[in-house]
Structure 1
């Protein structure tokens, strides 16, 4: 197979959201730090919402971005918590998919921490082929050709062959 057609994991973003300001945000921050071993970044609300008691700029969640070998190792660690299954509806048509873990204690090797309580998190995976940098570069950025983009079929095949997970309908 042409090496430019090889699919690779561009990044894995792990996030948790409290949806409110306060102690739950700090618990999510601690959870992500414990899960990934990396320093999370706090996420803030973009809009004000009186219904949810939010103002623009309040910290309501946390996220960590993993790349390279760390991303693959993290996926191999958390996929068993999702029963090594990913729904076909989780793919967005552009080589990305996401899945949620209801409780962090489902991840093998993670023990219950009373300070965190019971929390879940979301994992978002971006897949790409070599050459995708042309879309993001500063000098003369270009679109990726339709034959080179990662579609749902390619992404699902990658998940089954490379990650050993089953794609369910």
Structure 2
């Protein structure tokens, strides 16, 4: 959740993510100062949480219900990642409106990887992931359709 300012807004975003995921979120800080927005370098402006395994599948299915199981095809990139947004977190099943938290939008990014991707990230003897091993857009789309019942929509 990118809030754009620190203080109470960050704390509310933390609580929302913790309620959704059951994990403690980590803060993201501004990389540079932007005077027009009143943001200073190093100031916390967003919160993220990383999920893996079964928790991820359960949360993605809940998030897709909030989007009526529709994802635009433009949300999928060439390497199998998908990103989409939810305008109001209270649309997600299992969440209730809390006046103390308000209503927040959520940016969701899902990175799909096959076993063996660690060779690109490790510190010693890192190497490229082969062209055939990288997840392609079509494979990511078929994964979301088969595992989550997602409908991929063509957007013009």
Counterpart of 1:105 in structure 2 is: 90
Once the 2 structures are TM-superposed, how far is the Cα of residue 88 of structure 1 from its aligned partner? Answer: 0.6
1:12 maps to what in 2? none
The aligned counterpart of 1:118 is 103
Number of positions where the alignment pairs a residue of Structure 1 with one of Structure 2: 154
Q: Which of 14, 39, 51 is 1:29 aligned to? A: 14
CA distance in 1, matches of 2:29, 2:121: 24
Structure 1 residues not aligned, in runs of 5+? 1-15
Q: CA deviation at 1:60?
A: 0.9
Q: Matched residue of 2:64: which SS?
A: helix
Partner of 2:120: 135
Structure 2 unaligned blocks of 5 or more? none
Give 1:117 shift: 0.5
Query: Relative contact order (C-alpha < 8 Å, sep 6+): which is higher?
Result: 1
Which deviations, in whole Å up to 9, do the C-alpha atoms of 1:66-92 show, x marking residues without a partner? 011111111112110011011111112
Aligned-pair CA distance for 1:140: 0.9
Q: CA RMSD in A?
A: 1.0
Deviation, structure 1 residue 119? 0.8
**Post-superposition offset of 1:127:** 0.4
Higher normalized strand content (fraction of residues): 1
Q: TM-score, normalised by structure 1?
A: 0.88
Q: TM-score of the superposition, structure 2-length normalised?
A: 0.95
**Counterpart-to-counterpart distance in 2, 1:163 and 1:137:** 31
Counterpart in 1 of 2:47? 62
Give 1:156 deviation, angstroms.
Answer: 0.7
